[in-house]
Structures are given as C-alpha cells and as structure tokens.
Structure 1
Amino acid sequence: MARASQPSSLENGFAELLDAVRGIRWLANVRLRSGNPGAHASRLRGASAEFMEYRPYRQGDYPGRIDWKLFARSDRAYIRLSNDHAVFPTMFVLDGSASMGFPAPTNAKWALAASAAIGLASVARNGGDPVGLILPGESGDIHLRPGTRQSVLQEMIRAVSDRVPTGTTSIAGAISGIARSAARIVIISDFLGDTSDVISAAARCAVGGCEVHALHIVAAEELNPSGTFQLVRDPEDQSVRRPLTESTLDQYLENFALWRDNIARELANVGVYYTVSVAGDEPAPHLVRRIASPRTLGGP
C-alpha cells in the first residue's frame, strides 16, 4: 500500500507520456507471414472483408475462395483476393546495465530508455498488438510475456520504475530467446556492452522474419564531455579508468563518432531499423512518434 501512495519520480512521468502518445499509430514495416486478425498487413491472401482483386483459379487453390456468383455469370472460376491483416506481438528488450544509469545525478539515459519503451508499448497495445518486456538483470530477469491485458502497461511501468541500472548484464541471450514468440522486437540500449553478440542476435531475428528495431541511447555528456581534466570510469567496471584532457578530447570524439557510425551501418546491413536519440535533447513523445513513423532500412 505504501508503494502505491509514493510512486517514484520516473513512474510519475508516465501519465503525461501516455496521454501525449495517444492516437499515434505504429504500422508494421514488414508483412507478417501469418497471424491473428489485427491492424497490420499480412503476406497471406485470402477471403476477407477488405476485397482487393480477382485472379483466375489455379489447380491447388482452396475451392472455398472461389467466387461462385462470378462463376455463374462468366462460366470461369476466379479467386477473391484480399489483404489480410494480423496482430504484431511486440517485445521490448531493455538494457539495464550500469552504463544506462549515466550520468549519475540524473540517470538521463535510463529515463529516456524507460520512457521510450513504455510509450511505444502503449502505442502498440492501443493498436491491438500484444506487448511484453524483457529486462535482464544480475539479480534476475524480468520477463513479461506479450499480452493485451489491461494491466500489461502498469506491469511494465512498475518493472522499469523499480529497476536501478547496475552490473554488466548481457541482452544478447534475451533477444535470441524471443525470436519465435515476437513479430516485432525493440532493443533499447547504449550498446556499450556485448555489442557484437547483440548485433548477431538481432540479425538472426531479422533473417527469421521479425521486424527488429534498435534504439541507441546516448547521453549528451558522452557527446560533449567537459574539456577540463577528468578521470573517466567505466560504470560497469570501476577498475577501468581513462584520463580525459584537452589533448585527448578530440581523439575521443572522433572514436566515439566512428563507433556509433559502425553500429548504425552494421545493424542496417543485417535488416535492423536503427534509431539514435540523445538523452536530454529529445522529448520521449517525439522519439516515440519518430520510431512509429513508416521506416526504410538505413533511415533516421
């Protein structure tokens, strides 16, 4: 009871977010092979209310799809074709490792990652798609299976609000584990951990027919660190320390930009929709709208 009366500051912000993303549609960028009736175009064609065209009957076609009234008028057998639609079970894989808590005073990367997951989940669920969450952690993984139940968003909000980014948790295994149960997978991470394994897992999902999105969260302080001397520590391994001075800043910025470009290119090459967002520079509702808009591979 005490928890319900004292929600976290992160949890407090979700009501406004959910209101801001209401009305956004998130249609699939790929056609499903099959699925339950829903809002997304399917590769299957059959007889449904949304009639598209006729084609001549061919041996092996299901006789139940023949338009018998047209057959009676023309003495030729035709199949009614339509665009069938399907639901898109959508799973969110959220990186909860220590680097996602940067910068420490604000946890800006984690706040944006959590808000993006909840905002996109709300949009998908409002469109009739089941949504779920995997949040790996050193103390145990949180796994919410895809569903459209009324409580699913509250369960996701509670999960991200209770989590404090820590440790060196891998998300590659979580991605591989949901390839068969999800039609759309959204990976939200700063990609500072098992990057190669994550890209490989995402590639396998994309090749298998999933629509895979990768949301790369970057902190403004990572893009524009202070030019004064500072000893930079790896949040996932405190023993790793590097001096950042005026003389090393330019090299850091060049390496960091090259690294981001390589990730974007590698993900696009394996069929993943890549988006980068800077925590503190882009409001979560704007980011949700950007990801939910029709996409092409290699787009923003």
Structure 2
Amino acid sequence: MAAATRVLGAGERTPGIQETGSALSLAERMPRLILEARRVSTTLAHGLHGRRRAGPGESFWQFRPFVTGEAAARIDWRRSARDDRLYVREREWEAAHNIWFWIDRSASMGFASNLAQAPKVERALVLGLALADALVEGGERTGLLGLTRATASRRIVETMAQALVGDGAGLEADAPPRATTGRFDEAILISDFLVPLDEVRASVEAIAGSGTRGHLVAVADPVEETFPFAGQAVLHDLESDLSVNVGDAAAWGEAYRTRIAAHRDGLAEIARARGWTLTLHRTDRPASEAALRLLTLLAAARGGI
C-alpha cells in the first residue's frame, strides 16, 4: 500500500518533502491541540469501571480451574469440594499497569482533504493525548513508546506534548520504536498504517511478543477511503515526493477502493491473530467517537463492562 496521496487541482502548487515536514512541525500547533485534547477528555466517562484482571490484590475476582504445575497452596479447597475438579481463587489485579502510546507523525499523516475536520496527524495527536488524560484520571500509568516513562501524573498531556515536540526523529518514523513493554501492559498505536502489511505485522509481533495487549487505531481521511475523483488528476505521494498523472481518475477509483479494502482486511487479520483490536477513525468524524471506543475496549479487556 502506497503512502497517502494528494490530488492537485489546476495551478495548485505541488508540495514537496520539505513543505510537508514543515507542515508537521508541532511547536506552534501544540497548544491548540492540547486544549482540544482536554476538551475531548472531559467528554469521556472517567475511569475504566474497575480493572478486573487477575493479579496481586485483596478483592476476590473469580474461581478458575487449577492448572497442573501450579502450587497446591493456591487451591481453594472449599470451592473444590463442591465439584469434581480443583479450583484456584483469583484476586482482582489492583495495581495500575502501563499503557503505551505511539503516534505516527510521518509525512503521510500531514494529509487533509477539504472533507476532513483536521489533518490526520492533528487528529492522531488529539486522540492520543485525550486518551492518556482520561486513563490517568482512571488510575492508569501512560507513556510514549521509546520517549517517556509511564506515569500517572495529572500533567500527562503536557509531558507527552513536550516529548513529541522535541522528537524530531519521529517525523521520519512510520513504525513504532523498539521498546521494552511488560506482560500486563497495553499498547495503543495510532497511525494511518499506509505501509506494507508486513511492516505492520513486524511491529505488532515485536510488541506482542512480551505478552503486551494492543490496539491499532487507523486514522483515515475520507478521501483516502472513497477516492471520489473523476477526470484528469495528479496524484502526489507525500512520502517520496513522486507524482503520477492519471487520465481517468474514476477508472482508478474502483481498483483503489478494492485495494484499500483489502489493506484494511489485512490490518484486521494482523490484529486478530494476536488478540488485538482495530479501530478505523475517519477525520470527518468527531475525535470523541474513537476515544470512547478505545476506552470501552480497554475496559472490556479487564471485564469491567
């Protein structure tokens, strides 16, 4: 799958890589994005309705069958006496765990059509910051993969924003950095994922290999989903600075829509193979929709809903 393209009208200036990189500069826009993230965060139901995961804690959660190899001291003999099998008494996992974010800021994320409410990169940043804020309010620790430590600080939005502004290398990375995550951690990867599926699969496998659960959030401009063009057009690749003249855009549209649908199916299969989730968010929809879905998915993973 090629990087995001832009269709140019007659006389419109072709954006080069330098222009795209400048458009992705965050320093000037970040204060506005922080305010937007705070606004989205306040619309979300705070907390995750209980973590509900097995682990060290005082509250009873559930009984489960005893597994050969476990310590006999874990067996609940009173419950086991009522059945013909052995049971273990599990306690609720009460300690906060880490939720890691990766927010794609590569060149393709700078694309915005006139149908979108915001460029993909701005929507991705608002989603990530708003979710981090809501999760910290719910008692979780959040951080940026490879950039910050996980923290439950009430200033998590400012901490993440400052780290992103100072991370110039992130403008050229279209895959998450190699970083150590824990067995009970979760990762939220926000990108357009307009890269070969093998690259996405490699990133997911690297993170999931340590037992980390995850969520893919595919941010798409509505034009990238529908390709609503006809007649002659120029397609411009924001990643490579290449252009293609198309004589009949409508004819290209059918093949394009088939390919983008196949790409989305491939993303869904990558997520499903590791027990991850996939959320598709279009930039002509409110950011709060995707944020609420992610909070719901996180809560459901803990049995809290």
- Provide the TM-score with structure 1 as the length reference: 0.71
Shift of 1:170: 3.4
| Letter of the structure 2 residue corresponding to residue 235 of structure 1 | L
Give the structure, 1 or 2, with the largest relative contact order (CA under 8 Å, sep 6 or more): 2
Aligned with 1:61: secondary structure?
A: helix
* Distance in 2 of aligned mates of 1:237 and 1:215: 24
Shift of 1:160: 5.0
Unpaired runs of 5+ residues, structure 1, are: 28-38, 68-77, 135-141
Aligned with 1:188: secondary structure?
A: strand
Describe the superposition over 1:134-176 as per-residue Cα deviations: whole angstroms up to 9, x where unpaired.
4xxxxxxx7121111232221223455788998642324x1x4
* Distance in 2 of aligned mates of 1:232 and 1:150: 44
Equivalences for 1:9-158 in 2 at 5 Å? 9-21=32-44, 23-26=45-48, 39-44=50-55, 48-50=58-60, 60-61=72-73, 82-103=91-112, 107-134=118-145, 143-158=147-162
For the 8 Å contact 1:114–1:160, the answer to whether it is kept is no
* Distance in 2 of aligned mates of 1:197 and 1:228: 34
Other-structure match for 1:278: 282
For the 8 Å contact 1:125–1:148, the answer to whether it is kept is yes
Describe the superposition over 1:95-141 as per-residue Cα deviations: whole angstroms up to 9, x where unpaired.
1100011127775211221111112111211111111114xxxxxxx
Aligned with 2:241: secondary structure?
A: strand
| More off after superposition, 264-273 vs 214-223 | 264-273
For the 8 Å contact 2:120–2:219, the answer to whether it is kept is yes
For the 8 Å contact 2:59–2:92, the answer to whether it is kept is no
For the 8 Å contact 2:112–2:119, the answer to whether it is kept is yes
Other-structure match for 1:246: 250
Shift of 1:232: 0.8
| Letter of the structure 2 residue corresponding to residue 183 of structure 1 | D
| Letter of the structure 1 residue corresponding to residue 40 of structure 2 | L
Alignment CA distance shift 1:242-1:211 (3 Å): farther
Describe the superposition over 1:3-25 as per-residue Cα deviations: whole angstroms up to 9, x where unpaired.
9999643333233222212x333
Alignment CA distance shift 1:231-1:82 (3 Å): same
| Letter of the structure 1 residue corresponding to residue 289 of structure 2 | H
Higher strand fraction (1 or 2): 1
What's the Cα RMSD here?
3.9
| More off after superposition, 100-109 vs 223-232 | 100-109
Alignment CA distance shift 1:224-1:55 (3 Å): closer
- State how many pairs are aligned: 260
| Letter of the structure 2 residue corresponding to residue 293 of structure 1 | T
* Distance in 1 of aligned mates of 2:107 and 2:249: 24
* Distance in 2 of aligned mates of 1:164 and 1:79: 50
| Letter of the structure 2 residue corresponding to residue 252 of structure 1 | Y
Equivalences for 1:256-271 in 2 at 5 Å? 256-271=260-275
* Distance in 2 of aligned mates of 1:169 and 1:95: 7
For the 8 Å contact 2:52–2:61, the answer to whether it is kept is no
- Provide the TM-score with structure 2 as the length reference: 0.70
* Distance in 2 of aligned mates of 1:49 and 1:252: 53
Identity %: 18
* Distance in 1 of aligned mates of 2:275 and 2:47: 22
For the 8 Å contact 1:131–1:146, the answer to whether it is kept is yes
* Distance in 2 of aligned mates of 1:5 and 1:189: 21
Aligned with 1:177: secondary structure?
A: coil
Unpaired runs of 5+ residues, structure 2, are: 1-25, 79-86
Alignment CA distance shift 1:227-1:79 (3 Å): closer
Aligned with residue 207 of structure 2, among 205, 208, 212: 205
